[in-house]
Chains A and B, each alone.
Chain A
Amino acid sequence: GENVEQHPSTLSVQEGDSAVIKCTYSDSASNYFPWYKQELGKGPQLIIDIRSNVGEKKDQRIAVTLNKTAKHFSLHITETQPEDSAVYFCAAASGGGADGLTFGKGTHLIIQP
């Protein structure tokens, strides 16, 4: 089945700086890659996603890039703010989407004031 690796597990950045979280996947048939933000006591919130026919997607301060050849995708957050502090998960859908989403282990993003 699919395997998703996510790095780093913890990331601390100064407010206003950029943050980058990286994920790799194993199944070349995967073609949908969402990113989720989870705050304490809440469920994961979909923040951005990308499909394999697109190399990059941007939504205000958040962007995602996908390299199908290398099988990795990344989340970029610019001009970080205190409310960006949370745990971020990458995920991949493979097997025709029949196996559910396979998630990375998460990155705890800490924004230092």
Chain B
Amino acid sequence: KAGVTQTPRYLIKTRGQQVTLSCSPISGHRSVSWYQQTPGQGLQFLFEYFSETQRNKGNFPGRFSGRQFSNSRSEMNVSTLELGDSALYLCASSAGQGARNEQFFGPGTRLTVL
């Protein structure tokens, strides 16, 4: 069974731009969660989508948004990029809704904001 895939793997943007990241979960999994990983803050939960609906949200500003499609693929969007948005963005795939289900991570998208 194929794992979680994320595209693109690397991205360079400038302040003020917006960016869209994509995540394809493990086949059969209906939940996709997004996390931001930085050296200073570590791994932080952004949000979770299950059956095309955002179910849970972490403590991030409204510039961070997402959506999920009927095939469970998910996209994350960050608008008006700031230097502090430079991070590794990880998505995690799970069979059920909520963090108490096993979550399997993709390789991440490395975003650099200049």
Contact = CB atoms under 8 A, between A and B. Distances in A.
Interface of A: 31-32, 34, 36, 41-46, 49, 89, 91, 93, 96-106
Please indicate which of the listed interface residues A44, A45, A96, A102 has the most CB atoms of chain B within 10 Å of its own CB. Answer: A44
Given A44-B90, A98-B56, A99-B58, A34 B98 contact: no
Contacts of A96: 98, 100
A105 B97 CA distance: 25
B101 A97 contact: yes
Given A43-B90, A100-B56, 16 more contacts: A32-B100, A36-B105, A44-B43, A44-B105, A89-B42, A93-B98, A97-B97, A100-B33, A100-B35, A100-B45, A100-B48, A101-B99, A102-B45, A103-B42, A103-B43, A105-B42
Interface residues of B, number: 26
B44 to A, nearest CB: 8
B25 interface: no
A93 B104 CA distance: 15
A108 to B, nearest CB: 12
Interface of B: 4, 33, 35, 42-48, 55-56, 58, 90, 97-108
Given A98-B55, A100-B48, A103-B42, A43 B106 contact: yes
A106 B42 contact: yes
Contact of B98 (A91, A97, A104): A97
Nearest to A102: B45
Please indicate which of the listed interface residues A45, A49, A100, A103 has the most CB atoms of chain B within 10 Å of its own CB. Answer: A100
Contacts of A99: 45, 56, 58, 99
A60 B42 CA distance: 29
Contacts of A45: 105
Nearest to A45: B105
Nearest to A98: B56
A43 B105 contact: yes
Nearest to B101: A97
A31 B100 CA distance: 8
Contacts of B97: 97
Contacts of B107: 41-43
